[in-house]
A and B are shown apart, each in its own frame.
Chain A
Amino acid sequence: MIAGYSGADLAIALINVLLLGLLFVIGVAIARMRSLFAIVMLSGIYSLISATWFVALDAVDVAFTEAAVGAGISTALLLGAMLLTARTAKPEPFARSIVPILVVIATGAMLVYATIDLPAFGDPDSPANTYVGTDYLERTPQEIAVPNIVTAVLASYRGFDTLGETGVVFTAALAVILLLGFGERSLSATFNRKKDKK
């Protein structure tokens, strides 16, 4: 036994290490790759593994969203975007990547340093679990009467946030439409161009 862990705790710790290790390997692979198709596929796998990791952290709603949005629709949309551009990224000269590498290492070091101050995972006295979080847990059965507290917070207590999020998604679609067009007109234009060529 590793000191401080026993039984199920050890298994969960090992699973966490395994999943985070996989995420790290995939991240490095994405950074080093040049084929955009492989990068898009790997980012889908990255999302799927982080969804698995969220399940291990008991954040099932987040995991579900990550699997549906990150691994599902994002991958399809990135594939669609990739088809509009070149298939491979241009190789970067090493001299130009020194500064980004330094920035990434500095940010990573700061984040690791910041985790020292974080409360332990699942700590009942942590700020996230004391003030408003406990309030929601205690009040939802009387005030909202919805079994899934995540839904109560999302749709009722934080209805404004969700309205804003829906607006963001809608605005994103508007922005893409403004840039690329609705789709059907460009599709028929391409067909006509093909016919003209023949």
Chain B
Amino acid sequence: MAGPRTDHHVILRVVAKPLIPIIALFALYVHFHGDYSPGGGFQAGVIIVVAVVLYALIFGITPAMRAVPPVFARSLAALGFIIFAGVGVWALIMGGNFLDYDVLFNEEPGGHMGQHYGIIAVEVGVLFAVAGSMLSIFYAFAGRVTEIKDEDW
């Protein structure tokens, strides 16, 4: 990419490098704390993608595609949707209605394990689907322009 003469984004790179893992960690916090505070799979998925997009913007699209391959992104999107719909089918198999978490574990009335794990599974599905879809969209756009020169802006 940029040689020593043209690399004047060194401050950007140094600042972004520690930020990216923090953003990813924050996404996980938002996801797993979604039961207690604002947030959940949707927001967490978007935030995780922002970490990858930031990496792609600063270090280039090719290293980003090497770190998180596009085929992984689109498989993740499909897997997420399958997890969500699969929880619904699981409830169907257990004899309840589609997405009725109460029947997931055949528990007594008043038990909340089905609701608890059902919501967690569904949120994981949303996280995967949103993160994979957003990243696929970003790759589709970004794959068309190789290097953005400064005079392009």
- Docked complex Cα distance between A146 and B61 (Å): 40
Is A61's CB within 8 Å of the partner chain B?
A: yes
* A72 x B50 contact (CB < 8 A): yes
A114–B145 CA distance with the chains assembled, in angstroms: 46
**Which chain B residues have a beta carbon within 8 Å of chain A's beta carbons?**
30, 34-40, 42-43, 46-47, 49-50, 53, 57, 61-62, 65, 69-71, 74, 77-78, 80-81, 84-85, 88, 98-99, 101, 112, 115-116, 118-119, 122-123, 125-126, 129-130, 132-134, 136-146, 148, 152-153
CB-CB contacts below 8 Å: A145-163 with B:
145-148, 150-152, 154-156, 159-160, 162-163
Report the bound CA distance from A46 to B141 in whole Å: 23
Could you tell me which A residues sit within 8 Å of B by CB distance? 37, 60-61, 63-65, 68-69, 72-73, 76-77, 80-81, 83-84, 87, 143-148, 150-152, 154-156, 159-160, 162-163, 165-167, 169-170, 172-173, 176-177, 179-187, 190-191, 194
Kindly list chain B residues whose C-beta atoms are within 8 Å of the C-beta of A73: 46, 49-50, 53, 134, 138
Q: Which residues of B contact A144 (CB under 8 A)?
A: 112, 115, 119
Contacts A76-B50, A155-B40, A170-B77; A187 near B143 (Cβ below 8 A)? yes
- Report A-chain residues with C-beta under 8 Å of the C-beta of B99: 159-160, 163
Which A residues are in CB contact (< 8 Å) with B61?
187
Cross-chain contact A64 with B38 (CB below 8 angstroms): yes
User: In the complex, A134 Cα to B9 Cα: how many Å?
Assistant: 53
A187 near B146 with CB under 8 A, answer yes
The smallest C-beta distance from A104 to any residue of chain B, in angstroms, reads 29
Partner of B84, one of A76, A143, A152, A166: A166
**Closest CB in chain B relative to A118 CB, distance in Å:** 25
Inter-chain CA distance A172–B140, complex, in Å, is 12
Q: Cα distance A138–B75 when bound, in Å?
A: 40
Bound state CA distance, A182 and B62, in angstroms?
14
Q: Classify the secondary structure of A's interface with B.
A: helix
Of all chain A residues, which has the CB nearest B87? A159
Of all chain B residues, the one with the shortest Cβ separation from A166 is: B129
Q: How distant is the Cα of A155 from the Cα of B115 in the complex, in angstroms? A: 9
Given the contacts A146-B119, A147-B36, A173-B74, A181 and B134 also touching, CB distance less than 8 Å: no
Are A151 and B40 closer than 8 Å at their CB atoms?
A: yes
Q: Which single residue of chain A is at the shortest CB-CB distance from B47?
A: A68
Q: Are A183 and B70 in contact (CB under 8 A)?
A: yes
- A192 to B23, alpha carbons, bound, how many Å? 34
Q: How far is the CB of A193 from chain B (nearest CB, A)?
A: 9
How far is it, in angstroms, between the C-alpha of A173 and the C-alpha of B99 when the chains are bound?
24
Interface centre among A80, A87, A152, A159 (most CB of B within 10 A): A80
Distance in angstroms from B65 CB to nearest chain A CB is 6
* Contact indicator B143/A184 (Cβ below 8 Å): yes
Instruction: Tell me, in angstroms, the Cα distance from A45 to B90 when the chains sit together.
Output: 43
